[in-house]
Amino acid sequence: MKRSFLLLASLMLAAGLALPAQMKPAAPPKPLVRHVLSAGERGERVYQANCSRCHYPPDQLNPRITGTVIRHMRVRANLSAQDERDILKFFNP
């Protein structure tokens, strides 16, 4: 009985001492890399989400007319001022 106890105690001690040597420190987490969208990219997304249901994106749009058209549609489509600026950048980079 005494031998069994000593054997068990020595095994537990050896296992306890061996465990930290086997463990490696955890690697620090890698930082997340996020792609920051430009105003034109955000404008394209806003256009696709709100305008493309009724309109195809124009190949060319006169910059003088673009502001008027976007302002008019901003009211009708309930877009934010930021959405308006982003769509303008999408049409006129």
Calculate the average pLDDT of the chain. 79
CB 73 within 8 A of CB 79: yes
Residue 13 has what pLDDT?
A: 60
Q: State pLDDT tens for residues 77-92.
A: 899 999 999 988 888 8
Q: State pLDDT tens for residues 25-44.
A: 778 888 887 878 888 889 89
Which pTM value belongs to this model? Answer: 0.58
| Whole-number percent of the chain with pLDDT over 90 | 10
CB 49 within 8 A of CB 8: no
Residue 32: helix, strand or coil by DSSP?
A: coil
